[in-house]
Copies of this chain bind each other. A is one copy, B any other.
């Protein structure tokens, strides 16, 4: 019974010991190494990953081959290509590991059974989805209204711990500029 996921869960719902047993038995502990893939564009995302250690990232690749980071997923975060997972359609995202990572894997089938057995999980995942909406909406507003340098500062203050472990290139990709341009911006403010 993983303590990180347990704490995360208990922020939102209360389960009995027995229910917790069942909940955790639906997960599989997995590991991937740096640079390995959890999901590739075109494949179908057949489950959710909860990160217990390490760092994943999801990103799309445009037709010119440029990567655009959608999300960084450090410890205590869920990650999935929601579109692919919900609609059973080919993924638009890649998910790979920026560091060696341990995660808990919950297959769609297991999740569906969990929803039937433990309806409180509908609440848990509703709240997660709503928070995700808030995050995306906020990022969209930033992208539409702020210049690149302010988006960078926002990122730093929002994810102070991430900024230390991320290559600058990845941050550039997240805030939506080229690595060259981020480098030039940073050289002007120091």
List B contacts of A39 (CB < 8 A).
none
**Total copies of this chain within the assembly:** 2
* Complex CA–CA separation, A110 to B135 (angstroms): 25
| Complex interface bits, A124-157 against B, C-beta within 8 A gives 1, otherwise 0 | 0110011111101111110111100000000000
Which of A25-33, A62-70, A182-190 faces chain B?
A62-70
Q: Is the CB of A138 within 8 A of B83?
A: yes
Does the CB pair A139–B141 fall under 8 Å?
Answer: no
Give the dominant DSSP class at A's interface. Answer: helix
Q: Known contacts being A68-B145, A143-B143, is A83 close to B137, with CB within 8 Å?
A: yes
Q: Which residues of B are found within 8 Å of A83, using beta-carbon distances?
A: 134, 137-138
- By the criterion CB–CB under 8 Å, are B86 and A141 in contact? no
User: In the complex, which range does the number of interface residues on chain A fall in?
Assistant: 20 to 34
A126 touches B133 (CB 8 A): no
Does B141 lie within 8 Å of A140, measured CB to CB? no
Q: Does A34 contact B (CB under 8 A)?
A: no
A60 CB within 8 Å of chain B: yes
Q: Which listed residue, B68, B87, B115, B134, touches A86 by the CB 8 Å rule?
A: B134
In the complex, A119 has a CB within 8 A of chain B: yes
